[in-house]
Amino acid sequence: MKVAIIFGSPSDTPVMKKAAQVFRELDVEYTAQVLSAHRTPELLQETVKKLERCGTEVILAGAGLAAHLPGLIAGLTLIPVIGVPINAGSLGGMDALLSMVQMPRPIPVAVVGVDNGANAAYLACQILALKDPLLQERLVAFRAAIKAHCARHPEKVEL
């Protein structure tokens, strides 16, 4: 499996489902599991090592609150990690966003917008497409379809 989706709690499921939907639409195989940096750190470490052994190329990591999951994973592996900050509390996701984007060097986490699981999947697909010409073709076709749709249905605004 080229992509692994990991998220901190079952309560993150609706956001991470958006990523899974993109992978299905673009015909990219993925695995998904709930693993918490805080609640099950040893299991997380074992899982990351397993993902390395089975050739995983990108990891999506979604978490809310003190969202250490993507940073911890990034510290365990060279597989690129895309963090999805999740709005899970009174700070509207800013807590998760900043904890992901402020990773200290040299352990980066690529971060998308709050609750934007779909964009994390698109970015993962673009990374995979560097070595997968057929996926690249599907992405080009997808972008062309979006462009054609926007050209056919330009948004009208009242000024």
Greatest pairwise CA separation for the chain in angstroms? 57
In terms of CB distance, is 9 or 77 closer to ligand RP5? 9
Smallest gap from residue 26 Cβ to ligand RP5 (A):
25
Q: Does 86 help bind ligand RP5 (rule: CB under 6 A)?
A: yes
Q: Does 36 help bind ligand RP5 (rule: CB under 6 A)?
A: yes
Distances (CA, A) of 11 to 8, 34, 128: 8, 10, 28
In terms of CB distance, is 28 or 120 closer to ligand RP5? 120
Give the span between the Cα atoms of 25 and 31, in whole angstroms.
15
Give the span between the Cα atoms of 2 and 54, in whole angstroms.
8
Size of the residue set binding ligand RP5 (CB under 6 A): 10
Please tell me whether the peptide bond between 106 and the residue prior to it is cis, using omega within 30 degrees of 0. Answer: yes
Give the span between the Cα atoms of 34 and 46, in whole angstroms.
14
Q: Does 8 help bind ligand RP5 (rule: CB under 6 A)?
A: yes
Task: Write phi, then psi, for 7 (nearest 5 degrees).
Answer: -145, 155
Among 88, 103, 112, 120, binds ligand RP5 (CB under 6 A): 88
Site string for ligand RP5, 58-77 (x = CB under 6 A): -----xxx------------
In terms of CB distance, is 18 or 138 closer to ligand RP5? 18
Q: 2: closest CA among 21, 35, 28, 25? A: 28
Among 3, 12, 74, 85, binds ligand RP5 (CB under 6 A): 12
Q: Does 11 help bind ligand RP5 (rule: CB under 6 A)?
A: yes
Residues near ligand RP5, by CB under 6 A: 8-9, 11-12, 36, 63-65, 86, 88
